[in-house]
Structure 1
């Protein structure tokens, strides 16, 4: 009988070891690889009322940029852009510098630069929510948007305009910080 109990105890140990491995493996797949994240709190420039958040999550196909903004003119289009410097101290956000463009060869009219995220649309209440996938930026390395500024401009992006300049006056500005 002792041998039978030893065998049963041996089986129980194997079952427990396998179950423990499955559970730990399940935790690893559940937790997954942590995504790189960043966010910016946008504050209005002088004379404007736009505020909200813009968050950044690095994915395999680019950076997902989610925005939730209020205080925009109703039923209007605006540019969402990353600028070179993480400085929103100037009353008009000009301290943020030019639009982010690490690939200098692409700095000619009619060429989209990395910092041009796209246009956003405010609804009838002046609220804009949604997301954009930006394949040309990242959250680390030379194309990182961390410690740069994200601005909402009054005018939408014009694909034929000078890519080194913003698109109209800045309505809001926020510094992008890692989370």
Structure 2
């Protein structure tokens, strides 16, 4: 009789033990991959938000056009964008002008270079230069130019003072700026004109 009780006890214990092993919770599902954190060194840098923009339209007998955005990068105003319709492998003066008026067929209604500091014309890295002076642009073999360069450090966007570029003109010239000839750099005729507008 004792043998039967012992056998039943062992059988019950084994059955309970098997139930406990089968009752273990399932493994946690694999973590879903998440987006790369913004502060991850491997993540690409965030694009700067445009603070102003300009849509270049061709002047009479020109095919030059493009779209330019102005952004703040580390506190420095920069111009970036793309221009098409240029002569292949050519170089051109590129300036902010005093008036946001492109009504004249030749673009002369935009006035002279934007020069709120009454400085001499020159390269943007020279001590003396206009607020509207920017580096020359260079077209590739297809006549397209990608722009990504600095704007004078003494101008701004949206402050409403004499140094604000909003409402000014943007001009692509036919020839390169020599950064010496006063007051225009001998950059020649105007191939495209735009009005600089504050970003919404």
Alignment partner, residue 117 of structure 2:
103
Q: Secondary structure at the match of 2:115?
A: coil
Could you tell me how far 1:108 is from its partner in structure 2? Answer: 6.4
Alignment partner, residue 81 of structure 1:
95
Paired residue total? 147
1:152 aligns with 2:172: yes
> What's the TM-score, normalizing by structure 1?
0.74
Could you tell me how far 1:100 is from its partner in structure 2? Answer: 0.3
- Structure having the larger proportion of residues in helix: 1
> Quick one: distance in 2 between partners of 1:71 and 1:44?
9
Classify 1:63/1:112 alpha carbon distance in 2 versus 1 (closer, same or farther; 3 Å).
same
> Quick one: distance in 1 between partners of 2:176 and 2:82?
17
> Quick one: distance in 1 between partners of 2:58 and 2:121?
30
1:136 aligns with 2:154: yes
Alignment partner, residue 136 of structure 2:
119
Classify 1:127/1:35 alpha carbon distance in 2 versus 1 (closer, same or farther; 3 Å).
closer
Alignment partner, residue 4 of structure 1:
none
Could you tell me how far 1:109 is from its partner in structure 2? Answer: 7.7
Q: Deviations over 1:22-75 (max 9, x none)?
A: xxxx9xxxxxxx956110110000000001111101233421100200000000
Classify 1:87/1:166 alpha carbon distance in 2 versus 1 (closer, same or farther; 3 Å).
farther
Retained in 1: the 8 A contact 2:93–2:136?
Answer: yes
Structure 1: gaps spanning 5 or more residues: 1-25, 27-33
1:172 aligns with 2:192: yes
Q: Secondary structure at the match of 1:172?
A: strand
**Larger relative contact order (CA 8 Å, sep ≥ 6):** 1
Work out which of the two has the higher radius of gyration on C-alpha atoms and give 1 or 2: 2
> Which stretch has the larger CA shift, 68-77 or 162-171?
162-171
Classify 1:165/1:93 alpha carbon distance in 2 versus 1 (closer, same or farther; 3 Å).
farther
> What's the TM-score, normalizing by structure 2?
0.67
